[in-house]
Copies of this chain bind each other. A is one copy, B any other.
Amino acid sequence: MESKIDELDGEFITTEPDVLAAYRYDQAGFCEAGKPAALARPRHTDDVVKVLRFAHEHRIPVVPQGARTGLAGGANAVDGAILLSLERMDQILDVDEINQTATVQPGVINSVLSRAVADQGLFYPPDPGSWESSTIGGNVATNAGGLCCVKYGVTSDFVRALEVVLADGRVLRTGHRTVKGVAGYDLARLFTGSEGTLGVITEVTVALRPLAEKPLTAIAFFTTSAAACTAVTEYLRGGRRPSVLEFMDKPSVDAVSAYRDLGFPEDVGAVLIAQSDRGAAAPEDLQAFADAARECGATEVIVASDQAEADLLIEARRLVGVAMERLGSRLVDDVCVPRSRLAELIEGIAAIAAEHEVLIPCCGHAGDGNIHPNVVFDAADPDSVRRGQAAFSAVMALGLRLGGTISGEHGVGTLKRSWLETELGEVGVSVHQAVKQAFDPRGILNPGKVIRSAPGRVPG
């Protein structure tokens, strides 16, 4: 294998062991990584073509990587693979103010794009937690979500056109730069969220929107999670479209408060944080939020009086991850259920936490029914690890029982591959394998991620 890799020369290829080691993992817990053979960091589509042609000819696995901020092991190395990092393809190629689109290379950081288009009065809404470090290519490959999705939709809602290098090195341009287009199958959408298993994304055209008004922000405090969940459905059934509607349960609030004093009341049972970016109509939106919250038993609702206070409230939500890391190791789950089942989900997770004797703080995008239960455990204690993993699985089983999905935005990778099979069922798995086979007959693209190869087919 290694002698073959040596034939793939170019200044963008390295086999330096220390460098390879640094690129083996994304940010998922409990996901194995193999030993890669090389790292390619191309600057041009032509170089990606070169890597894929070589890999295809020699049946060498290729693992595409963005910023490796994923939480499901999707970017982890596999044995003998060429790691194909797109981070150096980081140019914004075009921002089109009239047509409200941007065309970028895959390595452009989400926040870099967001700020660049904001300078032109435009808005790129998808804002995953990793937005300051994750790349547009990675966001597309995983169909990343974020806080704004409740109003604006997820990454796939903004993908117009893609350039993709196929498994055999051919370059496909697909999708359309126009607002609408029905000429042929929606391959751009098929690649979006396919986690590098169907092709390597080398250019992305995204839709933009006019820059929204600065949002108004409010927080509501509840004594129970159930009350907060009911407030979510009551608020949204009234027809409002908040630009953010986030939930934190008691263990999340406690963890964040222990990390940084936010001046929250004592004994908070749950909070909702809502924003409206409808300008002059925002106060009315937040009044409706406050009314719904109070009707559902909120003990207090506060509307931020200035930007600093608003930033603090959103910061409280964004701090959950950091605050949680002080409590122990964590496995971040990502179930999404119909909104009407949110209360059952949160209560069921509390029961799972009690049964497995682990802490599972829950926070997430309540307006979308998308919750991130953080299973916290002691990595040094094998029994705690076992209980943590059992709880992690139990949460997904609960999500499916409630009519939901095992992943709202983090993806499958290797972490949830067997759970994906449960969700898809036998026919679904078989169709996925047929699609994978059509795009990657030699099984070289991110093998072992998302979907197992069909029985009898040898990947790599």
Chain A positions near chain B (C-beta within 8 angstroms): 96-101, 121, 142-143, 145, 149-150, 154, 156-157, 166, 170-174, 176-187, 189-190, 192-194, 198, 210-211, 233, 236-241, 280-281, 336-340, 365, 367-370, 403-412, 416, 420, 423-425, 427-428, 430-432, 434-435, 437-439, 450-451
Contacts and interface: CB of A to CB of B under 8 A. Distances in A.
The 10 lowest CB-CB distance pairs between A and B, nearest first, are A210-B239, A438-B438, A98-B340, A189-B189, A181-B405, A180-B408, A179-B368, A434-B438, A178-B336, A99-B338
A172 B425 CA distance: 9
A45 B123 CA distance: 43
Given A338-B96, A340-B99, A437-B438, A182 B431 contact: no
Contacts of A408: 178, 180-182
Contacts of A411: 182
Contact of A184 (B173, B187, B189, B412): B412
Contacts of A432: 184-185, 187
6 contacts: A96-B340, A121-B239, A149-B179, A149-B180, A183-B405, A183-B424
A370 B438 contact: no
B142 A179 contact: no
Contacts of A181: 336, 405, 407-408
A180 B368 contact: yes
Contacts of A154: 180
Nearest to A123: B239
A120 to B, nearest CB: 10
B190 A186 contact: yes
Nearest to A335: B178
A300 to B, nearest CB: 26
Given A210-B239, A428-B173, A183 B406 contact: yes
A56 B137 CA distance: 40
Contacts of A337: 178
A393 to B, nearest CB: 15
A199 B100 CA distance: 34
Given A166-B427, A425-B173, A182 B340 contact: no
A179 B239 contact: no
A193 B187 contact: no
Contacts of A198: 185
A357 B78 CA distance: 63
Given A180-B405, A183-B407, A185-B450, 13 more contacts: A98-B237, A98-B340, A99-B340, A142-B182, A156-B186, A172-B427, A176-B405, A184-B423, A185-B193, A185-B435, A210-B240, A210-B241, A435-B435
A172 B428 contact: yes
A433 to B, nearest CB: 9
Contact of A420 (B183, B424, B438): B183
Contacts of A96: 338, 340
B149 A407 contact: no
Contact of A178 (B99, B121, B338): B338
Contact of A428 (B184, B365, B403): B184
A245 B192 CA distance: 30
A9 B84 CA distance: 55
Contacts of A367: 179
A155 to B, nearest CB: 9
A241 B177 CA distance: 19
A39 B271 CA distance: 58
Contact of A427 (B145, B170, B236): B170
A280 B279 CA distance: 13
A182 B409 contact: yes
A182 B416 CA distance: 11
A450 B190 contact: no
A410 B182 contact: yes
